[in-house]
Structure 1
Amino acid sequence: MHRIFSSKWFISGVSLAVGAGVGGSFVAYRGGCVKSVDTFGGVLDRVPVIPIPSVDAAELVPYQHGQVVQSKSTAVMKYGFPSLSNIKTRESYVTSYDPRNRTAAWVIEQLSPETLTGTSDRKFCDFKEDDSVHEYHRATNMDYKGSGFDRGHLAAAANHKWSQKAMADTFYLSNVSPQNPHLNQNAWNNLEKYCRSLAKQYQNVFVCTGPLYLPRQESDGKMYVKYQVIGKNHVAVPTHFFKVLILEKTRGEVELRPYVMPNMPVDEKIPLERFLVPIESIERASGLLFVPNIMKRTNTLQAITAGRA
């Protein structure tokens, strides 16, 4: 069984604070293989892209009253969830909420030309508290007022123009994290636009986004995890953000592109590939798992395909 990436670099607050880009690796796709190359010029690993037989996502989603439950939110279950705590389902995304930090641990959504097209308009949307979260663990708009941080979407509003309700659901504060305004409006916005552009090139685009709270070495030589909190509810300010893209080609191949950006001003002219990192770095830093889910999905689909032969 092949791993998608083999990591020799661990993301650190030090490496990201030193330069505008992420010290680590970027990924190039050549000849059906994934080539992971660190930004200092050394090759980390080279393994095949995972082939996945073409099977409708609905085949592996739950049944209700004798019929398959089909919706955009269940479609994102295709590769499982990175974790199983506090799962919440919205119109077109699924999230795992972190009550301690008052923000999501991750949000998964599926992008397609259909979800990106429509007449929905964000001017009809307002940021709102998530009533499904206990008030002790809930962020409010007052927490962000005067904080100096934007209410940064994890599942982006522009990803869900197909439905006004779907777009409105992205304005729950449970789908928001405190984000540096310069990052939110420039480099991060460019990454979101890039994700949407990929929906025109790939059969399916799954996007998982979330916050990171990474360690940094202090003057005493020890590593500490330090992050600011804002408002009376102490909403955690991430040190970094990740975005993991699972890209399905029409031939059945899958590409995995993991990005990390520091929660600080980033020059939008820096190529996005500078922010690609080994997936294991995100898994280790976040406590989430992506690769095992993809491998499990691969084995299940192969078994289904063999059974039909």
Structure 2
Amino acid sequence: MTPLKSLLLSLCLLTLLAACGGDEPTETLPPVTPPDEEEPIIPPGDDEDNANANEADEAHPFATDLSIPHLDAENQYVEHIVSFREQEILNYALEWVEDKRHAAWVAFSFDSETCQKNVNRTNTWMPDPFISSSPQESDHKSDGFDKGHLCASEDRVYNRTANEQTFYYTNISPQMTSFNGGYWVTFEKLLQTWARSGAYEHVYVTKGGTLNHLLTNFTGTQKAADGRLPQTDADGLTNHGLACPAYYFMAILAKQGENYQAIGFLVEHRDDYGYSNDHQAPVELIQAHAINIDELEVQTGLDFFCNLPDKTEAQVEATYEESAWEWKVTE
């Protein structure tokens, strides 16, 4: 034993004897837990934590794509995939709501390949081969509505098969003619301009109509190409039993490097905006419909961009910067 250790031991013994020699009772301290029995320290949440992410499986390999909202097990989730330049690409996905006969949403993305314009519109209308209850052409006849694309034909022109898939009837919504060709089309063109501008590596998109807010007991003022006025019943259904949304929406997430920015649009489904195929809405009007993603989630009941890390998701969904987007259409 070294002299220093001997001295320290002597001091400890003297201190112990002094403490025990008094008449006053001493306070008993709680035992010290040995280090190996201490409760584990739980670290704060990691930047990559994600409590609400989807899970991919063999049947649905793209469920974790950033464009896909949180999946609802009560609906049918379908991925439409194409082969392009020796790789399998998610063309778009959708979630089908059986009792509404309408998609809850469609989701897809633009990158350096899927933003390309290689083919023309195919007009290959057909039932969705993956959904047994898919509407048919007869479900869109003589109802006073246009066959409005959710994932637009012009969104998928990098490959012929990709464009053909946009004509599946599960990707179609009953839209008023002037809304489809005169107003909503400007939103679509603005999105396509952003996606093809070269400013972003990826643009992730979820589009659809509000199935939680349907257009009920409605009779329009402008006839469609079939010569009929658009009408819905008390349940918000067309004369063929298809749900007719009261609003249409877009949720857009753009990525460049490690930076994300997001913006949402919510647009009332009306036929009195005063625009048409020959006189489309100016982009200045579009800005008035912009909202943050948090607000869009409240209005639609959907959980967008759930596959982002929670911290990133919370940041990009809480607000949007109008000045961060280029408000002009070149498509």
TM-score range, shorter chain: 0.5 to 0.7
Q: In structure 2, what is the Cα distance between the partners aligned to 1:61 and 1:83?
A: 9
SS at match of 1:174: helix
Match for residue 191 of structure 1 among 187, 190, 203: 187
Q: Report the counterpart of residue 125 of structure 1 in structure 2.
A: 123
- DSSP-derived class of the 2:291 partner: coil
Give the whole-Å Cα distance in 2 for the aligned partners of 1:107 and 1:249: 23
Other-structure match for 1:230: 238
Q: Deviations over 1:270-289 (max 9, x none)?
A: 52111112323332232211
Question: What is aligned with 1:29?
Answer: none
Q: Which amino acid aligns with 1:90?
A: H
CA 260–77 in structure 1, closer or farther in 2 if over 3 Å, else same? same
Question: How big is the shift at 1:255?
Answer: 1.1
Shift of 1:110: 0.4
Aligned to 1:247: 254
1:242 is paired with a residue of what secondary structure? strand
Quick one: structure 1 residues 75 and 62, their matched pair in 2 at CA, closer, same or farther if it must change by over 3 Å? closer
Q: CA deviation at 1:62?
A: 5.8
TM-score, length basis structure 2 = 0.60
The answer to whether residue 62 in structure 2 is matched with residue 74 in structure 1 is yes
Relative distance call for 1:76 and 1:111 in structure 2 (3 A) is: farther
Q: Which structure carries more relative contact order (alpha carbon 8 Å, separation 6+)?
A: 1
CA distance in 2, matches of 1:162, 1:228: 35
Match of 1:109 in 2: 108
Are 2:93 and 1:94 equivalent residues in the alignment?
yes
Cα distance per residue 1:59-93 (max 9 Å; x no partner): x99697xxxx9x9x839713653323311000201
The 5 Å alignment of 1:13-162 reads 74=62, 77-78=65-66, 80-84=68-72, 85-91=75-81, 92-122=91-121, 124-135=122-133, 138-162=134-158
Alignment partner, residue 11 of structure 1: none
String of CA shifts for 1:172-224, please: whole Å, max 9, x gaps.
11111111111111221111111111122212101100111438999xxxxxx
- The residue identity in structure 2 corresponding to 1:229 is L
Task: Kindly state the Cα deviation for residue 145 of structure 1 after the two structures are TM-superposed.
Answer: 1.1
SS of the counterpart of 1:229?
A: coil
* Pair 1:168 & 2:168 matched: no
Q: 1:214 to 1:249 in 2, by over 3 A?
A: same
Larger Rg, first or second structure (1 or 2)? 2
Q: Distance in 2 between matches of 1:76 and 1:101?
A: 26
The structure-2 alpha-carbon separation of the partners of 1:112 and 1:126, relative to structure 1 and needing over 3 Å to count, comes to same
**Structure with higher strand content:** 1
Task: Give the CA deviation at 1:171.
Answer: 0.5
Helix, strand or coil for the counterpart of 1:119?
Answer: coil
**How big is the shift at 1:148?**
1.4
Q: Secondary structure at the match of 2:151?
A: coil
Letter in 1 for 2:119: S
Change (3 A) 1:216 1:106: closer
Question: Structure 2 vs 1, CA of residues 62 and 90 (structure 1 numbering), >3 Å: closer, same or farther?
Answer: same
Q: C-alpha distance in 2, partners of 1:151/1:217?
A: 19
- Structure 1 counterpart of 2:293, one-letter code: I
Report % sequence identity.
21
Amino acid at match of 2:144: G
What do you get for the CA RMSD once the two structures are aligned? 3.2
Deviations 1:93-144, CA, capped at 9 Å, x for gaps = 111111111111011110134223243222x332211233234xx3221121
Gaps of 5+ in 2: 1-46, 49-53, 82-90, 218-232, 275-280, 314-331
